[in-house]
A and B are shown apart, each in its own frame.
Chain A
Amino acid sequence: MSVWQNKVPGYLISAIILILVAEFFFPVPEVVQSINSELQTFTAICAAFAMLLGSANIMKVYGSRVIKRSSNWEYAVLLLTFLFTTIGFGLLEGTGGIYFKWLYNNVQVPAAATVYAIIGFYVVFAAYRAFRARTLEASILLVAGFLTLMWGSSIGHVIWPGIGQVVPWIVDVPNTAGFRGYKIAVAIATVAVGSALFLHKQALFQKAGSSGEGAA
């Protein structure tokens, strides 16, 4: 049974990686190209199922809170009410329905955006209380951040017109070079992890402590 549970999915990953990467680097027969096209469509559909799974998980977690009457279970009732109301309108009206879009535009959008937006207030307080030039590295970070903030606002150009020459140089040369090095390193790591998955050196599905090919 463990062959079907652990090894076969691993072989499946290797086979998929092999034919998709082969198509990119080598001329392949049309049948392989058709298979690749279908694989990509299958993945798009599976990805949609994965998003459904996320919602189902939320139903499970908050549903169990209501059933067990955990602390603050009343909020879970509220959440599930909004969840099922949204799903109800969405399934009845479709994604273009009036009430479905109303819920999205007037509940999710304002609340979600505001959750991100309150960080804008923490930024100012953090600048006052937390951002200290304690070491050389922190000082470099502070100076670069300070100049970038000045450059990003119109008033910075009024205070010091030269900021328009200094910060673009900082962004174009040291910043771009630094990010470039980071991007190349991440790309190499991506290829390495992909190769490890292909060669079964990186296990996605092993249980901790089990024997077999390289644990992650």
Chain B
Amino acid sequence: MDLAFTGQLVGAFLMICVFSLLYKENPLSRVAEHALIGVAAGYTFVTNFWFIINTGVNGVFNGNPQYIIALVLGALLFTNLSKRWSWLSRYGLALVTGTGVALAISRVVLTDIFNQMVVVAEPFLSLSSPVEIFNSVLMLAITVSVLSYFLFTTKARPKQMGPINKFGRYAMMVSFGVAYGTTSTYRINMAIGRLDALLNPSIRSYSYVMTAVVLAAVIYWDLRLRKK
């Protein structure tokens, strides 16, 4: 039995253990969850460790001594684990926060404000059919009312905003409905993807056996728990 095939079987077993959550949380599902968290945390540690070595440490020895600053600030983040010295981690956090915020706010003005407003206004420059007029007016009304709903949220807003905000809420319900539909499809798709992996012809018969064994074990555990 080679490593790849063994891996498929281990993966199938873990998938079935997690699927057993649908019956009830049980020791096998907890084993799978803890194995997952352990490997995930280890994987994250390793990939980021090597990035630090390749970019940071090697960078220092290859003509970029200023990367020592980054390495020190990054190492200071670990002081977060100590109550007494956790204030030192604020310097690393300040760097990450400042850079992230600066990059976001400088571009978001163009991408998410200006361009979006242009697209709302542009159709009014060249309207041709009644359908286009209706769609453009409706889009403008919905965009403005939803924006108003989010921006004018305090009790101090004028009474005249009430109907506008209400219209915005109803329009948002359409967006949420579309989001519900697409999210449900996505989640079902993921479940189908996992089933497809379990029903892979190379391990299908093993999957059937493992499912039967896991299900029997979980039901037996549940019945014993109920008797207690």
Q: A residues engaging B (CB < 8 A)? A: 4-6, 8-10, 12-17, 20-21, 24-25, 38-60, 72, 75-76, 78-87, 90-91, 94-95, 98, 100, 102-124, 127, 136-138, 140-149, 151-153, 170-188, 190-191, 193-195, 197, 204-205
Q: How many residues of B contact A (CB 8 A)?
A: 118
Task: Give 13 CB contacts A-B under 8 Å.
Answer: A13-B101, A50-B92, A52-B44, A79-B34, A90-B50, A104-B39, A110-B11, A113-B15, A118-B191, A124-B188, A137-B169, A174-B175, A190-B112
Q: Which segment of B18-26, B155-163, B213-221 sits at the interface?
A: B18-26
Which chain B residues border A118 with CB–CB below 8 Å?
A: 18-19, 21-22, 191
- Pairwise interchain contact B99-A82, C-beta atoms closer than 8 A: no
Chain B positions within 8 Å of A, measured between CB atoms, are: 3, 6-8, 10-12, 14-15, 17-19, 21-22, 30-52, 55-56, 66-67, 69-71, 73-75, 77-78, 80-81, 87, 90-109, 111-113, 116-117, 119-120, 135, 138-147, 149-151, 168-178, 180-182, 184-185, 187-194, 197
* A13 with B98: CB separation less than 8 A: yes
> Total number of A-B contacts with CB less than 8 angstroms?
404
Q: Are A181 and B145 in contact (CB under 8 A)?
A: yes
User: Which residues from chain A contact B102 at a C-beta distance below 8 Å?
Assistant: 16-17, 20-21, 194
In the complex, which residues of chain B have a beta carbon less than 8 angstroms from the beta carbon of A20?
A: 98-99, 102-103, 106
Contact A86 to B42, CB < 8 A, known contacts A39-B95, A146-B181, A185-B151 = yes
**15 further interface pairs, Cβ-Cβ under 8 Å (given A46-B96, A190-B104, A204-B90):** A16-B95, A46-B77, A48-B55, A52-B45, A52-B52, A53-B80, A82-B39, A83-B42, A87-B42, A90-B45, A98-B3, A107-B36, A140-B174, A175-B178, A204-B94
